[in-house]
Structure 1
């Protein structure tokens, strides 16, 4: 009897099914629901891995998409959802390196990769910082501090080297942001759900309910991240609307800009407003139209004066929150400045800081009771200063400044495809806006803003290369085609 006939006979099939059922029952009995969940998920994991190694870019988009809600999942489960981003990126990197054409590695020879490599090497060396209290804290913290950044830039350049991918990236970003904004509206107008309420009751209410009003956080980690992310996508949509696109698309971008502006306002995050304000100034500078830049400066100045020196909109809570950002005597700002004075004294004899992971939530988890763990950093740059010292802060800011200078030079030299240049200006201005606002919040080191920002940096380099390989197209022709 052949093997095919043997396994095709119903008694053998019944026996195999029975053995599998017994094995599954044993596993479930020993591991409870966790084992059952693993068994149910296993086929899907295998299918995903097969698809990933056929098309690695799928993993990069999975990391991007999951970044929008991974941190917020802590309200629903204690599972380490944040590590899922690491898994997506690591598997994508392995899949990419296993099949990428070696000739594509030449695309990595650019200032962005060089800069982020310097910072990553320094961050890795922080593991041997004698002031460091915990290698586990370093492992958890270095991911957002450096490892995500270098992987995202490299993978974007290697996998998404096609103008269609830039449009796809923007669409994915806008769609997820819209869903997040809609969920935030639901929280404000219809209330939070049971799990969100439990999170607030556990202590988050101290920062997310002010004067009886909810600071909307959607399914992001907190209101600060939500507000900055909404300001980020608001800026990008607004800049895209100024480009050579069809009138219907302009209307869509304007509508989205208005929606995201309100989402930013209801977050109650004062620092978020500096994302679009600083980003739009960068955009106006990149246009090389200095008359428009002057007008833009006047408009921003008028808005500043309205908030600073008048009572316009005083009856609106969101306007009041934004106005308080202009007050140098604001109690919250004074507390931050006092904390920075304490850091200055502590770090005077620690040029390499207290070690990555020694401050903030990771410090409270792995080295509770220490000065760095118990003193709020608030700002991303203060966090870098506390953990890596003045040396690390200088390197980090130097790398970000090199990104900004290189980005300006590259975009100034994009002259062949106005539509492509507009998208590059939008995502680059957004990056600068987030980098600027990270002085008040740690948004550039958190998902989804950090993921979007460093993918954007990779796309700026790609857009420059695409533009150089494109035949010149006049803005007038593009406008005629769009109308």
Structure 2
């Protein structure tokens, strides 16, 4: 017996509301008597979670969109709620399938390479350069455990096209809400909590008097990348064979998210669109789409790179600077990478996970790696895991992309192929955009990235194809 879309939305929302109330109670905002009143509902949610463990996946998805935004209003490590629900969902899955001796979902190359990478990250704790073990415990979640846990859950629960479509539609719905909220920020201003947050981030979010909107995401860079990711997938789905209602929903989603992306001022988001678009045009194997599509992408690149069309608009100016190699911020990044190269020459395993970026500043602020900005996801991994770690990570990433691309190239079940192409184009775009920003290090992109890998694998498997033909 499986849960319906309405049940999943209802029960996932219940989990969110209950946890929000629990946090408010924990910080003494409402009386203890109310905490006793909600205990039965908490019990109900856990009962439903262990009966329908997939509810935990969707609860994680919901929190991945709003946890960063809530942290501006509610103190405490709200990001850990995603970890909590991931672990609870894995436990619920184990008990649900305890008597099932068939775990074939995990017998594939994707799980093996993910396990290998997790082991490398775990052994990084023995790196002699590690300054803070607490920093390692916090920082290792994003590059390692989120990858493994999400992949495992995706392989179990997304084995048919209907479940994959449900996930994508909820993703699009949350993204549209995020985009609409960013319009509120841009046209009507920020609330008190957001203004307080902006005071500490004005150097990157208030440029020449122009606000870079961030909605309820961690920052503008992550928001812009997420909007580009959503818009790319929505456009590709709209190009497929769809009902009028679905095509309208996809086009609306793409338009709203593209505009929100421009308001974020995230230059790296353009590379998600360009890379993902080119990958889709190649894999779709349709010359009627390939040739005009390449012309459109080429014209867009030409207009941004070699002309000043629309230069009076600040958002267009900001996007155009992404193709300017002499841009001051780009040169600063290059200089920082040169410093890191000199520092890491004698440290093949890096400075230890958690030594750079946010966690480095929090737990070891006086160290070289903490003081040196690492804007790129790849540069961050390079600094923390060394040349050996980043080489291993890039090889694993390339293996996954090539492995999935080959499966997609030979997969001919057209009703679901368009969805898989949309997901794969997103993977390719994010992989490239990771060089400019730490896109994969933040939610919801991280969760959607690894779920996309799992969905593409399961729906291109032989058993999935047979199920589709029988329907």
Could you state the TM-score of these two structures normalised by the residue count of structure 2?
Answer: 0.90
Per-residue deviation, 1:391: 0.5
Q: Deviation digits for residues 101-120 of structure 1, max 9, x if unmatched?
A: 53441022222212211111
The one-character-per-residue Cα deviations of 1:53-92 (angstroms, maximum 9, x if unpaired) are 1111100110011100112222112211000000000000
- Which residue of 1 is the match for residue 258 of structure 2? 261
In the other structure, the counterpart of 1:186 is: 184
Q: What secondary structure is seen at the aligned counterpart in 1 of 2:268?
A: helix
Count of aligned pairs:
443
TM-fit CA distance, 1:41: 4.6
- 1:35 and 1:49 map into 2 onto residues whose CA distance is 23
Q: Which residue of 1 aligns with 2:438?
A: 442
Equivalent in the alignment of 1:240: 237
Using the alignment, how far apart are the partners of 1:271 and 1:231 within structure 2? 9
- Please show how residues 85-164 of structure 1 align to structure 2 within 5 Å: 85-100=82-97, 102-164=100-162
Could you tell me how far apart the structure 2 residues matched to 1:35 and 1:281 are? 56
Summarize the Cα distance change of 1:248–1:338 in structure 2 as closer, same or farther, 3 Å threshold: same
Partner of 2:56: 59
SS in 1 for 2:437: coil
Partner of 1:425: 421
| Residue correspondence of structure 1 range 30-41 to structure 2 within 5 A | 33=29, 36=32, 39-41=36-38
Which residue does the alignment assign to 2:331? 334
Query: Given that residues 187 and 218 in structure 1 are in contact (C-alpha distance below 8 angstroms), is that contact kept between their aligned partners in structure 2?
Result: yes
Change in CA separation of 1:104 and 1:177 when aligned onto 2, cut-off 3 Å: farther
Q: 1:383 to 1:471 in 2, by over 3 A?
A: closer
| Equivalent position of 1:9 in the other structure | none
**CA contact under 8 A between 1:67 and 1:447: conserved in structure 2?**
yes
1:156 to partner: Cα distance: 1.1
Quote how far apart the aligned CAs of 1:471 are.
6.0
Q: CA RMSD in A?
A: 1.9
Rounded to whole Å, the distance in 2 between the matches of 1:345 and 1:77 is 41
Instruction: Check the 8 A contact 2:182/2:213 in 1, yes or no.
Output: yes
1:167 to 165, 176, 198: 165
Tell me which structure has the larger Cα radius of gyration.
1
Query: C-alpha separation between the residues in 2 aligned to 1:255 and 1:61?
Result: 23
Asked if 2 retains the 8 angstrom alpha-carbon contact of 1:353 and 1:388, the reply is yes
Aligned counterparts of 2:448 and 2:115: Cα–Cα separation in 1? 19
Using the TM superposition, name which of 108-117 and 348-357 deviates more: 108-117
Among candidates 206, 209, 220, match of residue 209 of structure 1: 206
Counterpart in 2 of 1:364?
A: 361
Describe how 1:291-330 pairs up with structure 2 within 5 A. Answer: 292-330=289-327
Instruction: Find 1:352's aligned residue among 334, 349, 354.
Output: 349
Q: Is the 8 A contact 1:273 1:322 kept in 2?
A: yes
Rounded to whole Å, the distance in 2 between the matches of 1:106 and 1:85 is 26
1-structure distance, mates of 2:326, 2:134 = 39
In 1: Cα distance, 2:279 partner to 2:349 partner: 32
What SS does structure 2 have at the residue aligned with 1:356? coil
Q: Any runs of at least 4 consecutive aligned residues in structure 1 with deviations exceeding 6 A, and if so which?
A: none
Displacement of 1:160: 2.8
Equivalent pair of 1:271/1:441 in contact (CA under 8 Å) = yes
Alignment-derived partner of residue 69 in structure 2: 72
Give the Å deviation of 1:290: 4.8
Q: Give the CA deviation at 1:248.
A: 3.6
Q: CA deviation at 1:291?
A: 6.0
Which residue of structure 2 lines up, in the alignment, with residue 7 of structure 1?
none
Residue 175 of structure 2 corresponds to which residue in structure 1? 177
Asked if 1 retains the 8 angstrom alpha-carbon contact of 2:65 and 2:443, the reply is yes
* 8 Å CA contact 2:139, 2:359 repeated in 1: yes
In the alignment, the residues of structure 2 paired with residue 223 and residue 33 of structure 1 have an alpha-carbon distance, to the nearest angstrom, of 30
Map of 1:480 onto structure 2: none
TM-score by length of 1: 0.88
2:80 is equivalent to residue 83 of structure 1: yes
Residue 206 and residue 187 in structure 1: after superposition, are their counterparts in 2 closer, same or farther (change >3 A)?
same
Q: Is the 8 A contact 2:158 2:454 kept in 1?
A: no
Alpha-carbon distance in structure 1 between the residues aligned to 2:182 and 2:153: 31
Partner of 1:462: 458
Report Cα offsets for 1:243-286 as digits up to 9, x if no partner. Answer: 11123422332222111110110000000111111001111111
Q: CA deviation at 1:302?
A: 1.6
Alignment of 1:1-12 (within 5 A): none
The answer as to whether partners of 1:104 and 1:158 remain within 8 angstroms in 2 is no
